[in-house]
Amino acid sequence: MKLDGFGIMVDDMGVMVRFYRDVLGFGITEDDETTNVFLEKDGTLFLLYRKTDLEELTGSKFSYCKGINGHYEIALSVDNYAAVDKAYADVTAAGAKGIMPPTTEPWGQRTCYIADPEGNLIEIGSFNKD
């Protein structure tokens, strides 16, 4: 088996499409209210799938995390420490919820955390000082 990508189950497709497209710069070609929305970022495929549509498709009910959650994270890398700081400032100014401001960790990574509109964690980091 080969990993093709992964999916994020969403409540409000339009809000999530606009966040990933307009705030984080993911490539999205589908309409904001499509059932399946394919996002592509640097060769990795992401899928936004409306929770109610998945439940209808499978004939099953599922439980989902609510609010800011640590169920998983999406990790994005940038060129260097300064780019971490800039990315955090840019995306929080554009509407992302700041969770942890840029911090240089003991293992040498400068990293920060934001949350998407439905509370999923996104890490932005770099191991390069310059």
CATH number at residue 109: 3.10.180.10
> What pLDDT, on the 0 to 100 scale, is given for residue 125?
98
What span, in angstroms and rounded, lies between the C-alpha atoms of 23 and 96? 8
Per-residue pLDDT at 39: 83
Label residues 113-129 b or e (16+ Cβ within 10 Å = b). Answer: bbbbbbebbbbbbbeee
Is there a single domain that holds both residue 54 and residue 98? no
What confidence score (pLDDT) does residue 107 get? 96
12 close to 118: Cβ distance less than 8 angstroms: yes
Range of the domain at 74: 69-126
Same domain as 74, residue 36: no
Residue 12 lies in a domain: yes
Q: Tell me if 63 is assigned to some domain.
A: no
**pLDDT for residue 43:** 81
Q: Select from 92, 48, 36, 99 the least CA-distant residue to 69.
A: 99
Name every residue whose Cβ is closer than 8 Å to that of residue 22 and which is 6 or more positions away in sequence. Answer: 94
> Where among 13, 36, 58 does a domain terminate?
58
pLDDT value at residue 40: 79
Per DSSP, the residues of 16-61 read: HHHIIIIIT--EE-S-TT-SEEEEEETTEEEEEEEHHHHHHHHT--
Tell me the pTM. 0.90
- For residue 103, the one-letter residue type is T
In a domain, 64, yes or no: no
Structural domain contains residue 101: yes
pLDDT of residue 38: 85
In a domain, 100, yes or no: yes
**Displacement of CA 76 from its chain's centroid (Å):** 9
Give how many domains the chain has, as a whole number. Answer: 2
Question: What is the predicted pLDDT for the residue at 59?
Answer: 96
95 located within any domain: yes
Per-residue pLDDT of the chain (130 residues; tens, 9 = 90+): 887 778 899 999 999 999 999 999 888 877 777 778 888 788 888 889 999 999 999 999 999 988 999 888 999 999 999 999 999 999 999 999 999 999 999 999 999 999 999 999 999 999 999 9
Residue 47 lies in a domain: yes
Query: What is the per-residue pLDDT for 99?
Result: 98
Q: Are residues 10 and 41 in the same domain?
A: yes
pLDDT at residue 98, rounded to an integer? 98
**Looking at residue 35, what is its pLDDT?**
78
